[in-house]
Amino acid sequence: MTNKISAEKKILELRNTIEKHNYNYYVLSQPIIGDYDYDILLKELQELEEQNPEFNDPNSPTQRVGDDRNNEFTQVEHSTPMLSLGNTYNIEELSDFDDKTKRFFNDNADFKYSCELKYDGAAISITYINGVLQKAVTRGDGAIGDDVTNNIRTIKSIPLKLSGNYPEELTVRGEVFMNHKTFERLNNERIENEKSPFANPRNAASGTLKIQKSSIVAKRNLDCILYYLISDNLPSDSHNENLTLAKKWGINTPEHSVTASNIDEVYKFIKYWENNRDKLPYDIDGIVIKVDSINLQKRLGQTAKTPRWAISYKFKAERVTTKLLSVDFQVGRTGAITPVANLEAVQLAGTEVKRASLHNADIISELDIRINDTVFLEKGGEIIPKIIAVDKTKRPQNSEILKYITHCPACDTKLIRTEGEANHYCTNSLNCPPQIKGKIEHFCSRNAMNITIGEATIKALYESGLINNAADLFDLTKEQVFSLEGFKEKSSANLIESIEKSKDAEFSKVLFALGIRFVGKTVAKTLAKNLKTIENIKNATIENLAEIDEVGERIAQSVHNYFTDKKSILIIERLQNAGLNFEFIEDTSSKTNILDGKKIVISGKFEKLSRDELKNLIEVNGGINQSSVSKNTDFFLGGDKVGPSKIKKVKELNISIITENEFIKLLNLDL
């Protein structure tokens, strides 16, 4: 009993310490320990919780990794409606708002305005009871939203527990968003995995919140700023003062907010951020102006849709006009054709823009865009240049409709367009120069074989006839590379050394490097882990492949097509002869004796690991697999659809039941 009391005390101490560090890092941006020390604390807590499951708490810092259960979102009614703000794009209407507010109080009320940034993300409402996060709900239609509590728990800037003198019942509202660096990384990954990139960070944040598996949400690194408090017991009548106090409770409130004594000070705040918003690491699309007094807010009330005490001033998206000079049709490594507009150089949002993607034939048709047209250009999400319209009043009289190409611009193969897909494709994958070079670039990329070679070098090797596919890289000699213009003896030796070193890459990276359509990093890992060898993948039927989690019919068909192509098989055979790894090797370096001597029975259906994989993990970590439950059984590892008679026996014998997730945590597996 003494040991349990001591364990509980240590667990509580660690949780409090870690939450304080989360507050320092995510809210104050003033960390006082490094990442390594933080990870050590978190690992210690995780181990203690695993050893003492009776002290489990869904609001523990260790629970932010998310859950893979795939449940439909529950609809929840907001206790207070989430109203939309009235919008304005001009100072005159803002002045009208100020005049109306003054008239309402007959110029007798001495009030101030709170000015805040208008974050461009997804609205969220979070309820805390006695300082503990209870529920998180999206805006929905303003009256009813989706319960996304599990997803919100994964966002590290949102406290799971409050500290200090907070109200017993508190609702906080704000915006979930994605910063620019995270957005760029996510889109690069999506493009790499042949998925459509998100148009802007707002769409990415909103889409991520609606993902059913919170383990995926956790990997997206969403952020959140909370800017409105609802409670019967707020400490101050000042909205801004309440936000300041809320920061002390652990809530990530706005950093860039001010109190303005009059409308002129509001104008200054707007002007400053209109000129400096590009310096922020996230998107804003305007400024929110609120009457600061809570009592005056209540007196002003609301219409059916909007509060009368607040308004948003929205920045106009910076828009410029320029001339479309020509359109290039680029060929990607998968054969996808991307039309790119060549423009007269123009300054937009602080950068010079000469090119913009036109995406596909449908976009060109919708815009009715033609050569020498004057086009309107904006930056989508303040990041990506985008043609949004054509100024047809300036269109030359002799302009002709822009016809989409019918044949590949590189190899003249007739293009195809599969039903349901936006892009046209060149099917000449093994003889089309851009596809060949693109495939080799992909093969050498950091997330694949990680060969240190640039695009220009691949082009030179290809044009000199030294390489025509990825397998040719392993036949290169230092002398051949040295013969290329610009290469010296050392750089030639470095390239050959990098190619040789790449042979150590694990099977999943080699599989990803092959460039099979729709097979990104995650799918490559899944295939390698489930089917173990390249021979098993090659011989698998479409039905076998489609049954694997995260694969499905489209990917299965693509994998099957690749392995029934004789030229692809020939390349794989050459890569095998070169010494590349085409077999899944279980990493035993991190295994422990944590299950030493423990007798475990497995039963049921599992989500993340097969029963064979679970049995293997038990053995390599010192445990013993039992075929049936007995009084000597230490653990019952249960999945879904376990027979009731078996559960009854387990309970009669007082045997500990552990879930798949608890088992994974017990072994500190990174899945």
Q: What is the pLDDT of residues 397-429, one digit of tens each?
A: 989 999 999 999 999 999 999 887 888 999 998
User: Average of pLDDT values for 66-81?
Assistant: 70
User: When comparing pLDDT for 348 and 356, which is higher?
Assistant: 356
Q: Among 578, 530, 572, 571, which residue's Cα sits nearest to residue 550?
A: 530
- What is the model's pLDDT at position 70? 40
pLDDT digits (tens, 9 = 90+) for 619-665: 788 888 887 788 888 989 988 878 777 888 888 888 989 998 888 88
Burial 612-622 (b: 16+ CB within 10 A, else e): eebbebbeebe
**Dist CA 578 CA 572 (whole Å):** 10
Q: How many CB atoms lie within 10 A of CB 259?
A: 14
Are 353 and 346 within 8 A, CB to CB? yes
* Domain at 433-578: CATH architecture: Orthogonal Bundle (1.10)
How far, in Å, CA of 170 to CA of 411, rounded? Answer: 64
Q: How far apart (Å, rounded) are the C-alpha atoms in residues 523 and 123?
A: 32
Residue (of 640, 635, 584, 636) closest to 607 by Cα position: 640
pLDDT tens sequence across 74-133: 888 898 988 888 878 788 889 999 999 998 888 666 899 999 999 989 999 999 999 999
Reply yes or no on whether the pLDDT at 194 is more than 80: no
CA angle 141, 145, 147 (to 5 degrees): 170
CA–CA distance, 508 with 448 (Å, rounded to integer): 9
What one-character-per-residue DSSP string does 444-481 give?
Answer: HSTTTT-----HHHHHHHHHTTS-SSGGGGGG--HHHH
Measured CA distances, 453 to 137, 435, 457, 495 (Å):
48, 17, 6, 7
Place of tokens 């609606």: 210
* Residue owning tokens 């320092």: 24
418: how many CB neighbours lie within 10 A of its CB? 9
Q: Tell me the helices (H) and strands (E) count for the chain, helix number first.
A: 24, 20
Contacts of 488 (CB under 8 A, 6+ apart): 482
What is the fold, at CATH topology level, of the domain defined by 2-63?
Helix Hairpins (1.10.287)
Strand partners of residue 328: 340
d(CA 641, CA 131): 37
CB distance 124 to 152 below 8 Å: yes
Pick from 34-48, 51-65, 175-189: least confident: 34-48
Portions of the chain given CATH number 3.40.50.10190:
599-666
CB of 618 closer than 8 Å to CB of 594 = no
Q: In the beta sheet, which residues pair with residue 579? A: none
Closest listed residue to residue 642, CA positions, set 650, 634, 652: 650
Give the residue, 380 or 524, on which the prediction is more confident. Answer: 524
pLDDT band at 28 (very low <50, low <70, confident <90, very high): low
The confidence score (pLDDT) of residue 564 equals 94
Neighbours of 468 (CB within 10 A): 15
Q: Give the CATH number of domain 320-394.
A: 2.40.50.140
Q: Is the pLDDT of residue 134 over 60?
A: yes
Least confidently predicted of 29-43, 79-93, 256-270, 603-617: 29-43
Cα–Cα distance between 86 and 174 in angstroms, integer?
17
Helix (H) / strand (E) element for 663: namely helix 660-666
Helix or strand holding residue 616 (H, E)? helix 611-620
Provide Rg for the chain, Cα atoms. Answer: 30
SS3 352: strand
- For the cut 90, the answer to whether the pLDDT of residue 526 exceeds it is no
Average pLDDT along the chain: 87
Structure tokens of 255? 């950093």
Q: And the tokens for 78?
A: 């907001």
Number of Cβ within 10 Å of residue 593's Cβ equals: 9
**Which residue ranges does the chain devote to CATH 1.10.287.610?**
2-63
Distance CA 12, CA 52 (A): 12
- Please give the CATH superfamily to which domain 599-666 belongs: BRCT domain (3.40.50.10190)
Query: What is the pLDDT at residue 496?
Result: 95
Whole-angstrom distance, CA of residue 598 vs CA of residue 666: 13
CATH 2.40.50.140 residue window(s) in the chain = 320-394
CB under 8 Å to 586, separation ≥6 — which residues?
616, 620
Amino acid at 133: L
The string of DSSP letters for 417-444 reads --TT-SS-B---TTT-HHHHHHHHHHHH
In angstroms, rounded to a whole number, what is the distance separating the alpha carbons of residues 39 and 47? 12
d(CA 255, CA 276): 15
Predicted TM-score (pTM) of this structure? 0.55
Greater pLDDT, 423 or 58: 423
Q: Which residues are catalytic?
A: 118
- Cβ atoms of 665 and 50 within 8 Å: the answer is yes
Q: Return the SS3 of 413.
A: coil
- Please, which pLDDT band fits residue 669 given cuts at 50, 70 and 90? confident
Across residues 246-273, what is the average pLDDT?
A: 95
For the stretch 538-552, pLDDT in tens is 999 999 999 887 788
Question: Looking at this protein, which amino acid is placed at residue 151?
Answer: N
Percent helix, strand, coil in the chain (nearest 5)? 40, 20, 40
pLDDT band of residue 36 (cuts 50, 70, 90) is: low
Using 50, 70 and 90 to split pLDDT, how confident is the model at 26?
A: low
What is the C-alpha separation between 578 and 478, in angstroms, rounded? 16
Q: What is the pLDDT of residue 67?
A: 46
pLDDT at 188: 81
Check whether 58 has a pLDDT greater than 90: no
Give the pLDDT score at 279: 87
- Of all residues in the chain, what percent carry a pLDDT higher than 70? 93
**Per-residue confidence (pLDDT) for residue 107, from 0 to 100:** 65
Domain 82-314 part of CATH 3.30.470.30? yes
pLDDT in the model for residue 481 = 93
Per-residue pLDDT band at 207 (split at 50, 70, 90):
confident
Amino acid, res. 447: N
Beta bridge pairs of residue 127: 135, 171
Sequence-ordered list of residues with C-beta below 8 angstroms from that of 474, at least 6 positions apart, any chain = 499, 574, 575, 578, 579
Q: Convert the pLDDT of each residue in 459-512 to its tens digit.
A: 999 999 999 999 999 999 999 999 988 888 999 999 999 999 999 999 999 999
Other Cβ atoms less than 10 A from the Cβ of 435: the count is 25
Using 50, 70 and 90 to split pLDDT, how confident is the model at 380?
low
CA dist., res. 506 & res. 6, Å (int): 44
Computed from CA positions of residues 302, 306, 312, 316, in that sequence, does the dihedral angle turn out positive or negative?
negative
Q: Which two tokens stand for residue 425?
A: 């494709």
CA distance 61 to 639: 25
Range 65-93 burial, b when 16+ CB lie within 10 A, else e: bbbeeeeebeebebeebbbebeebeeeee
Residues sharing a CB contact under 8 Å with residue 237, sequence separation 6 or more, in sequence order: 293, 294, 295
